[in-house]
Amino acid sequence: MEIAKNLEQTSLAFINDKSPILDLTCNNLVASGIEVVFRSENIKDGLSQLSALKTLPQVCVIDLDFYDKNILAQLQELRTQYPTIKLIAHSDIDTEKVVNPLLEIGFASYLLIGSDADDFKKAIEVVINGGRYFSMGVAEIAKEYFSDN
């Protein structure tokens, strides 16, 4: 399968608070051949781990409290320091109040809780090839955002 061939050469990082759901997804992605270079529970630790790497991951999946203004500021710092890393948000929040600030920061994908490993694989493939990928529950918000900006 061509998707798997492309993804086997993909490196990934996870920054998320404790999430058994995302742990399972991460394990499934590793089992499919995707390299997970690190996992972190907060952005500060993630930035520290990124600074220690010789080769940056292509994609970073982030699942944190996106209502927290401090986290949004830290995400902006992450984006500024590492603009080549594609960012994928994972959340149960499907409101403009949360989605739009993440799109402004430069997230290329937004997956809602309930997305399975196949959804993640598709999102990863799309974003490493320069596209954007959104769960159905936020696709309309993203479409509106990009048509206005």
Q: What is the pLDDT of residue 104?
A: 96
Q: What is the pLDDT of residue 4?
A: 43
Q: What is the pLDDT of residue 21?
A: 84
Q: What is the pLDDT of residue 9?
A: 83
DSSP label at 43? Answer: H
Residues 109, 138: Cα–Cα separation, whole Å: 10
Quote the pTM value.
0.92
Residues 48, 67: Cα–Cα separation, whole Å: 23
Block mean pLDDT (10 aa), the chain, length 149: 59 90 89 92 94 96 90 95 97 94 97 93 95 96 92
Which superfamily, per CATH, for 2-148? Response regulator (3.40.50.2300)
25-32 long-range CB contacts below 8 Å, 24 or more apart?
25/115, 25/116, 25/117, 25/120, 28/116, 28/117, 29/117, 29/120, 29/121, 29/124, 32/4, 32/7, 32/117, 32/121
What are the extents of the domains in the chain?
2-148
Q: What is the pLDDT of residue 6?
A: 65
